[in-house]
């Protein structure tokens, strides 16, 4: 496992990569479980991912309370991260984003499903959470732990949960994996929209999804992708 | 409230940002009410927004007559700005643009409606103005105060008005807000087109739109976005 | 009228602009009538527009024979330019391009029509030429004056002619105008495709098209656009 | 024929070009037959094409076993290249890519067909290979020579074979040709999707495809494109 310095360096790199690859714009964030304390997580202060550096990284407990804020303003929606990391011990990194291609799948009845092998890692089932079902009219933001726990209940044991009219939360066992899953989730949404207009679609079978899940991806492929993404985002690998 | 120097600096930055984010191309413009005189407004001379600097900023009265042109050529369609700022005391900044994604909504019967929370700020109702209804065949440009007043009548108390076969006018209480609304208006149009092809769409409820209107947006979110947009456009925040 | 040096400088700039704006890729070309001899025209040797400089500019007669090739290889499809400039005395600059958005209109029965005022300049009627009608199976290229004259017969007195499964020819009275028309032709095609999927479309009326034709466009607008396009393409205005 | 040094230089350039033109992202690869030994081929070690340089180029035999790996990790899917180059003596260069526009054609019943002359080079018939037909649930990767031979059986004597839910393999007589075919294959897919939504499509006739096949393309056009592509990718031509 990465030590704290390496974890922070990768977390900063991941912020820049998510911006470079169009997963996030001014908004969206990524967290990682603290390498030395599974009940803590690391995430930037409230800043656009493209601009994040190491001095922006804050530490939070599982209630998403900052440990030592030093005057820094946390993200309003940090409760997404705390709630997921608390409930899912297998998850070590979480991305919240508003990727444009995902929005249509959150506001219609069309299930998002893996259409090509690179997106097998999103999992066979992508649930949609609607904050309005339990909380009525809101700003549609995950502003507290009640919101966060309700989101996690919909996520269940899946990898990705869409948020109606808002975006998604993506989970993975590592920073590298959560970045790749976020990127191919977006690509899959675009391709599925295109393919559906052309007729009946052959999706990945359950067996193909299982074999292409994050746990089964060839490690060398991930390392190759990480080198590529760091180069494009001009950060150290 | 910002002083005159800060206002001009932000207005120049907003011009560059609107170009960088694809809201404007060679055409389109942004104005702001004069901070010291509510019956005046500031706007660039006739120049593409990507190229505007402080020396291009001119002052206009509510008839859109320049105060001291110093030989500079004003935008032909400046009457949009004067007419809106005269009629709407709550508005302090106006963008006119031809964002490509908006055009289809102006030339069909499909109402543009907020589909995700970032676009709640465009408001629940986006009217469409057709210059032909009152003025017959024209160059389709807002070339005088009669055109401007007719546009404003259709805008009413809404935030955005589409112009059939032309573009839109976007209003807000500040430069930062009018920039963000212009950006997410465009994104919303693209996402709504995509989602409508997939089946019935769940739009934001009236309550969600109200809670996500410009007045209720978290200030910290706007500051984060402004820092991001200025960095991308390579202007001072 | 521009002198020869200015004409060549603008022609080089136009080549770079068309590449920067995505009108051309490796292929496509632009010509201009010789300012001192209406029976001659200027065009680059066979080179991608993004790479053209003044030393690449060759002179041709109305048969598209080079005057003094100096070993330079002309474009294979130069006959498009000679044929148009010979037949249409009102035309002074011609662009041939393969803009991707235009292809669907050349291979279906959907007429391309101006959908927003910036594209009024393409004209109310955009004919489609199919080389196969007269010449049967070919490489689909305008490889001689017979091909060129047949294309011109379909163009007639219009501004733009689509070429089935190939691209288009765009005509104008000046380099600046032919560049702007080429850009907005492409944008119009994309927007018309989007709008048509949303229901019945309100196109510009005949009167609006006439008022927005190239001859009636405000000169100041063209100058503004040219400054913008030159800046983006990093060439002198 | 190019010598070994020239071949390696072009192979590196082609890697960079395919990345620049969006044909590949972190994944995808290009091979070329060894100029001095038709039973060998050259390809990068497992690295993203955008980052490949001459020291990454490895040599393989027709079983896709590396000749002298020097500790370098080969691509997992190198069997695509060995199998094609072994079976098709007319092919000298192969690209495997995941171009997003191609995916919808692999997962629906819509045949990909040339819609404009630049894409005539993809050939009149583009077969689709589904690894599941013979091998059941897999990672969907060509991980051995059995997979490779099955892919080649579907390719037959065609130029391109789509891989269901995965990508494609593109073949050509030279590096320059395989790059151009890969680029226009992608463009054709996008344009065909657009055109099909507009009504009945006129595709290239069999005769037009034959006249626009790779063997018949004007050499000067290819040289012009290669100069353009190298300039954009910032590599030596």
For A74-101, write each residue's pLDDT tens digit: 999 999 999 999 999 999 999 999 999 9
- Rounded to the nearest 10 degrees, the angle between the axes of helix B219-233 and helix B175-196 is 90
- Give the pLDDT score at A214: 73
d(CA D63, CA D79) in angstroms, rounded, equals 7
Residue with tokens 């997963």: A23
The tens digit of pLDDT for each residue in D64-107 reads: 999 999 999 999 999 999 999 999 999 999 999 999 999 999 99
DSSP annotation of B158: -
- Give the pLDDT score at B214: 72
Residue in B56, B99, B13, B79 with CA at minimum distance from that of residue C224: B56
Token couple for A218: 């060839």
pTM: predicted TM-score of the whole model, two decimal places = 0.96
The answer to whether the beta carbons of residues C212 and C117 sit under 8 Å apart is yes
- Give the pLDDT score at A213: 84
The answer to whether the beta carbons of residues D185 and D170 sit under 8 Å apart is yes
Residue in A85, A107, A93, A88 with CA at minimum distance from that of residue A29: A93
Residue in C34, C134, C156 with CA at minimum distance from that of residue C87: C156
Q: For residue A198, how far is the Cα from the chain centroid?
A: 30
Least confident span in B1-5, B115-119, C226-230: B1-5
**A212–D166 CB contact, under 8 Å:** no
Phi-psi region of D211 (alpha: psi -120 to 50; beta: other; left: phi over 0): alpha
Quick check: B107 pLDDT over 80? yes
Token couple for C15: 């080549």
The tens digit of pLDDT for each residue in A155-199 reads: 999 999 999 999 999 999 999 999 999 999 999 999 999 999 999
- 3-state secondary structure (DSSP) of residue C50: helix
- Residues of chain A in Cβ contact (below 8 Å) with chain D: 115-118, 120, 187, 190-191, 194-195, 197-205, 207-208, 210-212, 216, 218, 220-221, 224-225, 227-229, 231-232
Residue D123 lies in a domain: yes
- 3-state secondary structure (DSSP) of residue B128: strand
Q: What is the DSSP string of B169-190?
A: EEEESSHHHHHHHHHHHHHHHH
**Residue numbers in A near B216 (CB within 8 A):** 139
Q: In sequence order, which ranges of A53-116 are alpha helices (DSSP H)?
A: 79-87, 103-106
- Give the pLDDT score at D236: 84
Q: Split chain C (237 residues) into runs of 10 and give each run's mean pLDDT.
A: 93 98 97 98 98 98 97 97 98 97 98 97 97 97 98 98 98 96 97 97 97 72 91 91
The tens digit of pLDDT for each residue in D133-187 reads: 999 999 999 999 999 999 999 999 999 999 999 999 999 999 999 999 999 999 9
Residue C154 lies in a domain: yes
Percentage of chain D with pLDDT > 90? 93
Q: What is the DSSP string of B19-83?
A: HHTTS-SSS-EEEEE-TT-TTEEEEEBSS-GGG--GGGEEEEETT--BS--TTPPBPTTTHHHHH
d(CA D101, CA D103) in angstroms, rounded, equals 6
Cα angle value D144/D148/D150 (rounded, 5°): 120
Task: Look at D221 and C68; give whichever has higher pLDDT.
Answer: C68
**Residue numbers in B near C116 (CB within 8 A):** 98, 103, 106-107, 165-167
Residue D77 appears among annotated catalytic residues: yes
Burial C124-157 (b: 16+ CB within 10 A, else e): bebbbbbbbeeeebbbbbbbebebbbbbbebbee
The tens digit of pLDDT for each residue in B124-183 reads: 999 999 999 999 999 999 999 999 999 999 999 999 999 999 999 999 999 999 999 999
Q: What is the DSSP string of D78-98?
A: THHHHHHHHH-TT--EEEEE-
Q: Which distant-in-sequence residues (6+ apart) come within 8 Å of C5 by Cβ?
A: none
Q: First and final CA of chain C: distance in angstroms?
A: 16
Quick check: B216 pLDDT over 90? no
Residue in C83, C104, C101 with CA at minimum distance from that of residue C156: C83
Q: In sequence order, which ranges of B72-140 are alpha helices (DSSP H)?
A: 79-87, 103-106, 131-135
d(CA A203, CA D223) in angstroms, rounded, equals 40
DSSP annotation of B127: -
Average pLDDT score over chain B = 96
Token couple for C139: 């490489």
Hey, what long-range contacts does A126-129 have (CB within 8 A, 24 or more apart)?
A: A126/A158, A126/A159, A126/A160, A126/A161, A126/A162, A127/A154, A127/A155, A127/A156, A127/A158, A127/A161, A127/A162, A128/A154, A128/A161, A128/A162, A128/A163, A128/A164, A129/A154, A129/A155, A129/A161, A129/A162, A129/A163, A129/A164
Catalytic residue list of C: 77
- Give the pLDDT score at C216: 62
How many Cβ pairs closer than 8 A exist between chain A and D?
Answer: 100
Percentage of chain B with pLDDT > 90? 93
Burial class (CB in 10 A: 0-12, 13-18, 19+), A97: buried
**B117–A166 CB contact, under 8 Å:** yes
**Residue numbers in C near D199 (CB within 8 A):** 108-110
Residue C102 lies in a domain: yes
- Work out whether the CA dihedral B63, B65, B66, B68 comes out positive or negative: negative
Q: What is the ipTM of this complex?
A: 0.95
Burial class (CB in 10 A: 0-12, 13-18, 19+), B136: exposed
- Give the pLDDT score at A74: 97
Strands A93-97 and A167-172: antiparallel
The CA-atom distances, in angstroms, between B178 and each of B27, B152, C101, D210 are 17, 17, 31, 55
Token couple for C65: 């024979």
- Give the pLDDT score at A220: 64
Q: Where does the pLDDT of residue A236 fall: very low under 50, low under 70, confident under 90, or very high at 90 and above?
A: confident
The CA-atom distances, in angstroms, between D7 and each of B185, C198, D12, D21, D127 are 50, 51, 9, 21, 29
Burial C14-51 (b: 16+ CB within 10 A, else e): bbbbbbbbebbbbbbbbbbbbbeeeebbbbbbbbbbbb
> How many structural domains does chain B have?
1
**Residue numbers in D near A202 (CB within 8 A):** 107-108, 164-165
- Work out whether the CA dihedral C100, C102, C108, C110 comes out positive or negative: positive
- Give the pLDDT score at C213: 84
**D107–A203 CB contact, under 8 Å:** yes
- 3-state secondary structure (DSSP) of residue A107: coil
Q: Which residues on adjacent β-strands are paired with residue B161?
A: B169
Q: Nearest CA to CA, how far is A54 from chain D (Å)?
A: 26
**Residue numbers in D near A121 (CB within 8 A):** none
Token couple for A29: 């964030």
The answer to whether the beta carbons of residues D205 and C138 sit under 8 Å apart is no
In the Cβ-directed half-sphere of B34, how many Cα atoms lie within 13 Å? 17
The tens digit of pLDDT for each residue in D183-218 reads: 999 999 999 999 999 999 999 999 999 998 876 665
Q: Which distant-in-sequence residues (6+ apart) come within 8 Å of B47 by Cβ?
A: B56, C224, C227
Residue C207 lies in a domain: yes
The tens digit of pLDDT for each residue in B55-78 reads: 999 999 999 999 999 999 999 999
Residue D222 lies in a domain: yes
Q: For residue C193, how far is the Cα from the chain centroid?
A: 21
- Give the pLDDT score at A61: 98
- Give the pLDDT score at C196: 97
Residue with tokens 């050259």: D42
CATH number of domain containing C103: 3.40.225.10
Residue C18 lies in a domain: no
**A211–D25 CB contact, under 8 Å:** no
Residue in A95, A96, A84, A101 with CA at minimum distance from that of residue A145: A84
How many Cβ pairs closer than 8 A exist between chain C and D?
Answer: 100
The tens digit of pLDDT for each residue in B220-234 reads: 678 999 999 999 999
d(CA D85, CA D65) in angstroms, rounded, equals 13
Residue D236 lies in a domain: no
Q: What is the DSSP string of D97-116?
A: E--GGGHHHHSSSPPP---S
d(CA D216, CA D225) in angstroms, rounded, equals 16
Name the residue facing B198 among A110, A140, A165 (closest C-beta): A110
Q: Which residues on adjacent β-strands are paired with residue D94?
A: D31, D171
Range(s) of the domain holding residue C138: 24-29+77-233
Token couple for C14: 């136009």
> Among D21, D77, D143, D200, which one carries the catalytic annotation?
D77
The answer to whether the beta carbons of residues C140 and C131 sit under 8 Å apart is yes
Token couple for A132: 């309005």
- Residues of chain B in Cβ contact (below 8 Å) with chain A: 115-118, 120, 187, 190-191, 194-195, 197-205, 207-208, 210-212, 216, 218, 220-221, 224-225, 227-229, 231-232
């Amino acid at each position: 496992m990465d030590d704290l310095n390496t974890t922070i360096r990768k977390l900063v790199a991941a912020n820049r990569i998510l911006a470079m690859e169009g997963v996030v714009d001014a908004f969206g964030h990524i967290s990682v479980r603290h390498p030395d304390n599974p009940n803590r997580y690391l995430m930037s202060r409230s800043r656009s991912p493209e601009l994040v550096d190491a001095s922006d990284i804050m530490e939070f407990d599982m209630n998403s309370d900052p440990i030592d804020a030093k005057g820094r303003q946390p993200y309003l929606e940090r409760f997404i991260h705390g709630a997921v990391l608390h409930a899912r011990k297998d998850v070590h990194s979480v991305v919240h984003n508003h990727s444009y291609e995902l929005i249509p799948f959150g506001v219609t009845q069309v299930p998002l499903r893996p259409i090509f092998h690179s997106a097998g890692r999103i999992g066979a089932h992508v649930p949609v959470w609607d904050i309005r079902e339990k909380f009525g009219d809101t700003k549609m933001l995950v502003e507290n732990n009640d919101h966060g726990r309700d989101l996690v209940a919909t996520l269940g044991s899946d990898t990705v949960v869409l948020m109606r009219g808002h975006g998604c939360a993506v989970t993975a066992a590592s920073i590298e994996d959560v970045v790749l899953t976020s990127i191919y989730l977006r690509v899959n949404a675009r391709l599925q929209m295109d393919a559906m207009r052309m007729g009946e679609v052959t999706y990945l079978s359950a067996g193909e999804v299982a074999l292409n899940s994050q746990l089964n991806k060839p490690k060398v492929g991930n390392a190759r992708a990480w080198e590529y993404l760091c180069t494009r985002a001009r950060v150290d690998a």
